[in-house]
Structure 1
Amino acid sequence: MLNHRIKLRHLNAFLEVSRRRSFARAADSLAITQPGISKAIRELEDIVGATLFERGAQGVSLTQAGLTLLRHAGPALKALEEGVGALADAHGGHAWLRIGALSTVESRLMPAALGRFQTSPHGPTTSVTVVTGASAYLLSRLSLGELDMVVGRMTEAREIRDLAFEHLYYESLRLVVRPGHGLAGHVLEDTAPLGECRWVLPPQQTTLRQQVDSFCVRHAISLSLPCLETLSLTLSRRYTLENDAIWVAPFDAVDDDLQAGRLVELSLAFEHQGGSVGLCTNASVDTSLALDDFAESLRQAAAERQH
């Protein structure tokens, strides 16, 4: 039974601080004072008997107890909002799916799965909203109940704890350059030249960037500045084609260009097996038939990709 001391204002304050990663920004969003939102969080922590947030240089972050509460509280309030909306017949009976997609699946898996989903039993009556971004952002929105599923390479992300992950396949990152690049076609016996090049990298604080940093440590590579940091595949590809830069790219994003000779992979392998690509859901939320259909479309698209 829900503790009668927990009020809607406590949960709204908790969710907004989780979303904004800041007490001040959360207070502005809810149009209340910062002392007011701090008081609401303290009261909630007293009620549940656990610390929900940790304060750091980058703002506030959820503790393990906070992540557990978020996994349940976000979807619960979202379901309440949807229930009120259903009474008003907001969507006229039309279903929606909200899918988070990481850059690792934008090029092939998601387009293939969306195409299959259109021919599934619930596809013709279901619209799909696809949200892109970093894994921490998308998984946080999944915990909040603002997304129904997140797809991509995300098992290294801290925010995946308490969520349900289903593995689909492994995908590696590749080091690619344009054919005219000075390192194209050369056997790299010494990694020193890599440190002198411009790089196209995932942004800092992302799980993919952690893989890049580990790679550089293993091979004693000191990345030179300036570099381009982005998760945009379109921007990364165009920049690499037109400049002497090394792009750390998901294999699916560059496979066609590698086969056509528009891009060249460097001889130094970034990863062997690669990371686990899969689908992530919030197990505390009841699934829908449309979401089940989309999950099956993803499985079929993933199986087809590996043949």
Structure 2
Amino acid sequence: MLNARIKLRHLQAFLEVARQRSFARAAERLSITQPGMSKAIRELEDILGTSLFERTARGVALTQAGLTLLRHAGPAMRALEEGVGALGEEERSARWLRVGALSTVESRLLPEALRRWHAKGSDDGQGRFAEVGVNVVTGSSAFLLSRLRRGDLDVVVGRMTEAREIQDLAFEHLYYERLLLVVRAGHPLAGVSPLVAEDLSVYPWVVPPPQTTLRQQLDSFCVRQAMTLPSRLLETLSLSISRGYTQGSDAIWVAPEEAVVEAIGRGELCELDLAIEQQGGSVGLCRNASLQSCLALEAFCETLREVAAD
């Protein structure tokens, strides 16, 4: 039975701090003072008898107890919001499909899957998905998986099995994809073989940000090669920024294979002869089994499987 001392404001404050990873930003989003936000979280922790957050250099992070509460509180709050919103309203024919996309699938898998999915819904004679919009949210695996756990997303697509936030979410493997070291055509290292790690240290690098699954693989590569990344780093998950910077400089880009395979084929980019990983990481789709599914989501997941198989 739910403790009667736990109020709706406690759960709203908890979920917003978990979402923002900051007491100050959470307070701003809920239009309350930061002391008021801190008080609400402190009251909730006192009621539960455990700490929900721990302070880090980048803000606050959920403790194990916080992650457990988030797994249940997020979907419960969303169900409550949907129930209140449904009062006095007729069932609407249109809805949104909410998709989280990691950079590993932004270039080919996801655009093609969305195109086929919409085409299926329009061509089946029933127009099943003609009124269904798609909202695509991009970001790191930690950010997207946290939103999936709260019920803010229907599915997350990409390479994420190394993320600690995946935990009890349901992941389905689609295919493996490698990280590549790529440079512009005409780069001094293009075509050089064999390459050793020390050849790379004099150039700037374009890399995934810290605390991402792709950066973890890069860090492992650096340990194996006994090398340290240069100080001239561009940290971003944006494919367009990475591509533009790489093609206009001597930078070395740590890129998902999907994002660069066509440019390599056209001779615009070159893969360096030094492998970060052999097989690559598992790209797939992740869902929250505690959330109710729908026909549109099931059809979209099936389309992802078809495109991946192709």
Relative to the length of structure 2, the TM-score reads 0.92
Q: Quick one: distance in 2 between partners of 1:287 and 1:2?
A: 26
> CA offsets per residue over residues 79-108 of structure 1, 9 Å max, x none?
222333334659943111110100000011
CA RMSD between the two structures: 1.9
Q: Which residue of 2 aligns with 1:233?
A: 239
* Residues 1:135 and 2:141 aligned together: yes
Q: How far does the alpha carbon of each residue in 1:130-168 deviate from its partner, in whole angstroms, 9 at most, with x for none?
A: 011111111111122211111101111121123221111
Q: How does 1:68-217 map to 2 (within 5 A)?
A: 68-87=68-87, 89=89, 92-118=92-118, 119-120=120-121, 122-217=128-223
Partner of 2:2: 2
Change in Cα spacing, 1:109 to 1:35, as seen in structure 2 (3 Å) is: same
Partner of 2:25: 25
Give the structure 1 partner of residue 35 of structure 2: 35
C-alpha change, 1:94 and 1:47, in structure 2 (3 Å) is: same
Q: Count residues with an aligned counterpart.
A: 304
SS of the counterpart of 1:147? Answer: coil
Q: Does the CA contact (< 8 Å) of 1:71 and 1:163 recur in 2?
A: no
Distance 1:91 1:204 in 2: 44
Q: Distance in 1 between matches of 2:270 and 2:309?
A: 27
Is residue 166–residue 278 contact of structure 1 (8 Å, CA) maintained in 2? yes
Percent of aligned positions that are identical: 66
CA distance, structure 1, for counterparts of residue 295 and residue 167 of structure 2: 25
The residue identity in structure 2 corresponding to 1:241 is Q
Q: How does 1:51-62 map to 2 (within 5 A)?
A: 51-62=51-62
Q: Distance in 2 between matches of 1:284 and 1:49?
A: 26
- The residue type equivalent to 2:189 in the other structure is L
What residue number does 2:11 align with? 11
Q: 1:296 to 1:220 in 2, by over 3 A?
A: same
CA offset digits 1:231-279 (Å, max 9, x no partner): 1111211222221111111111111112222211111111111111111
> Larger deviation: 90-99 or 225-234?
90-99
Confirm or deny: 8 A CA contact 1:171 1:277 kept in the other structure: yes
| Aligned CA distance change for structure 1 residues 56 and 238 (closer, same or farther; 3 Å) | closer
Q: Deviation per CA, 1:8-52, whole angstroms, max 9, x where unpaired?
A: 111101101101112232223223333332332233233334322
SS at match of 1:152: strand
Name which of structure 1's ranges 175-184 and 57-66 shifts more when overlaid on structure 2. Answer: 57-66
Choose 7-16 or 182-191, whichever is displaced more. Answer: 182-191
For structure 1, list consecutive stretches of 5 or more residues without a partner in the other structure. Answer: none
Distance 1:159 1:8, change over 3 A: same
Q: Within 2, Cα distance between the matches of 1:211 and 1:51? A: 31
2:280 paired residue among 270, 274, 284: 274
